[in-house]
Structure 1
Amino acid sequence: MKPKAAFLGLGAMGFPIACNLQRAGFTTLVWNRTPAKVEEHARSCQTKAVELAEAASAEFIFSCLPTSAEVATLVEQMLPHLRPESIWIDCTSGDPEASRRIAAELGKAGVAFLDAPVSGGTDGAEKGTLTVMVGGSEEAYEKALPLLQAVGEKIVRVGPTGAGHALKAVNNTLLAVNLWAAGEGLAALVKQGVDPRVALAVINASSGRSNATENLIPERVVTRAWPNTFKLGLLTKDVGIGMKVLDGARMPAPLLRLTSEVFQIAKREIGPEADHVEALKLIERWAGVEIA
């Protein structure tokens, strides 16, 4: 019989991830701060809506929340109810230092902790093709692997507790670098009379290509569609965590730090609730052209 899982946080990523756990045969208990979202999930995915105390009865507890602070709050509330030898799997794009503190707190109750942030966007979450980067013990990882395989296609244990969140932060910082750099380059080309669609076709057949040029900019910027799948405020938060990783490494990283600064400006100018790709609207404003 497959173990029971609980899923805390039914946002843009958490909603489909929890669905995929249920579809894979794991009885899935769901909780969210908004009761209506929980009821909607239970109806559409045949999961069970529960309160936190009942969620604590599961062998595996997933969290997918905006920041590590919210995770720490839930851990504090659920700690008296958690069962020993259960495993907490945090899919939040969290802070490595905070994760190590959370792991230590859970350890006092005999609960293992895995930081397991994901990459692949809402499309990957819906299709179950996410990349999952896991920090934590080998033993806990092996126990959790069947559940992680229900939601992701590439599952990798990348190191000890906090390593998954560190890698996710650096990955998203590189996303920001590629997105901003491509935006600047394309705005300059438009001002030289180059159609951005033509420019992207050439770049994507050349060495300058990236996910930003292959997918994000063609699908959102050139089309002016701007679907909101990952908020600019959340990407800026992740880049900020990336800066903490650099601080811990005690090394110069001028390009990454400059990227952090420009995304802070973009968040202020464009707004934290905008989609992350809308940061390029600030480049367009500065350049006086549209990448379209």
Structure 2
Amino acid sequence: MKVGFIGLGAMGYPLAGHLAKKYETLVWNRTFAKAEAHAREFGSRAVELPELAQVEILFTCLPTSLEVDQLAQRLLPYLRPGTLWVDHTSGEPELAQKTARMLQEKGVSYLDACLSGGVAGALQARATVMAGGAAEDFARAKPVMEAYAAKIVHVGPLGSGHAVKAVNNALLAVNLWALSEGMVALVKQGVNAGLALEVINASSGRSNVSENLFGQRVISREFPNTFALGLLAKDLGICAKVLEAAATPAPMLRQVREFFEIAKREVGATEVDHTAVAKLLEKWAGLEIK
């Protein structure tokens, strides 16, 4: 089988590497030197964009759904009927549906198959995939995605993958904001942040944020930028659209989105890690969490 991968960022680069170990893999990246480096490292083949129309399954992993749609428009004249497009972008359900309708006119199927697990999950081939689309398209893509994913779930019709990912990341934001609030208060009271976190992680308040992010990034003051604050703010915006479409009550998720929009302006967007949102609360409180 011949597959293609577009978007060799922090997640896409290792994912395409896992594919190249099992399948003939063509790669393309906006910065073409990165595709060439990938070919040298993993044995994939760096190609010009039209050549990706040769593949049976085409994977994309880009920053936004708009970029996926623009790319689909560029590739449309070259795509062949029967191609399956699997989009790993954390994107927008409505725009993904629009892109899918355009591709369907050429006989190309589409799955929105968002990822979770972060860069570590991608490197270790233990990503989680939440896919929306037709059951037969999911069945066709799943064995290939097993090259880099440990959990692959068909969550519903087209657009569902993006919706689940947006809500998932909104919950990440809620946990991060709430823990930051609590830790600021504890430090203000003279509590050692590291010891407080140790107790929380052995108690009912623990979460992925407390166990795997807060100590290693916030208390350490390292804030390694593996997932930018602006990207999490973007996902919260997508979640807001999901909530609006559902017309369901969600005061907490809407409020947390506002906090992250403020943090994006005051702390930074692309140049800082999402855990740096804690710096906004530190600024308001006049202290550091340590």
The structural deviation recorded for 1:155 is 0.3
Aligned to 2:91: 94
AA at the equivalent of 1:4: K
Aligned to 2:72: 75
AA at the equivalent of 1:231: A
The structural deviation recorded for 1:91 is 0.1
**In the alignment, structure 1 residue 227 sits paired with structure 2 residue 224:** yes
Aligned to 2:19: 21
**In the alignment, structure 1 residue 126 sits paired with structure 2 residue 119:** no
Aligned to 1:284: 282
Q: Note the 1:134-149 alignment, pairs <5 A.
A: 134-149=131-146
- CA-to-aligned-CA distance 1:11-33 (integer Å, 9 cap, x gap): 1111111001112x111100010
> Once superposed, which parts of structure 1, at least 4 consecutive aligned residues long, lie more than 6 Å away?
none
Aligned to 2:170: 173
Aligned to 1:189: 186
The structural deviation recorded for 1:45 is 1.2
How many Å separate the matches in 1 of 2:144 and 2:279?
39
**In the alignment, structure 1 residue 240 sits paired with structure 2 residue 237:** yes
Aligned to 2:159: 162
1:44 match: secondary structure: helix
The structural deviation recorded for 1:228 is 0.8
Aligned to 1:38: 35
How many Å separate the matches in 2 of 1:147 and 1:239?
30
The structural deviation recorded for 1:252 is 2.0
How many Å separate the matches in 1 of 2:122 and 2:189?
39
How many Å separate the matches in 2 of 1:118 and 1:11?
13
Matched-pair identity in % = 56
The structural deviation recorded for 1:136 is 0.5
How many Å separate the matches in 1 of 2:288 and 2:208?
20
Q: CA RMSD in A?
A: 0.7
AA at the equivalent of 1:280: A
AA at the equivalent of 1:28: T
**In the alignment, structure 1 residue 217 sits paired with structure 2 residue 214:** yes
Aligned to 1:4: 2
The structural deviation recorded for 1:164 is 0.3
The structural deviation recorded for 1:40 is 1.0
AA at the equivalent of 1:35: F
How many Å separate the matches in 1 of 2:128 and 2:72?
25
How many Å separate the matches in 2 of 1:70 and 1:187?
38
**In the alignment, structure 1 residue 109 sits paired with structure 2 residue 114:** no
- CA-to-aligned-CA distance 1:48-71 (integer Å, 9 cap, x gap): 001111011100000000000000
Query: What count of residue pairs does the alignment treat as equivalent?
Result: 289
AA at the equivalent of 1:133: M
Between 280-289 and 165-174, report the one with greater CA deviation: 280-289
**In the alignment, structure 1 residue 200 sits paired with structure 2 residue 166:** no
The structural deviation recorded for 1:166 is 0.2
How many Å separate the matches in 1 of 2:214 and 2:124?
22
How many Å separate the matches in 1 of 2:19 and 2:236?
29
The structural deviation recorded for 1:265 is 0.2
How many Å separate the matches in 1 of 2:149 and 2:67?
24
AA at the equivalent of 1:194: V
2:77 match: secondary structure: helix
Aligned to 2:263: 266
How many Å separate the matches in 2 of 1:284 and 1:263?
14
- CA-to-aligned-CA distance 1:241-275 (integer Å, 9 cap, x gap): 00000000112211000000000000001111211
How many Å separate the matches in 2 of 1:272 and 1:104?
32
Aligned to 2:47: 50
- 5+ unaligned residues in a row in structure 1: which ranges? none
What TM-score do you get using the length of structure 1 for normalisation? 0.98
- 5+ unaligned residues in a row in structure 2: which ranges? none
How many Å separate the matches in 2 of 1:224 and 1:56?
46
1:56 match: secondary structure: helix
2:5 match: secondary structure: strand
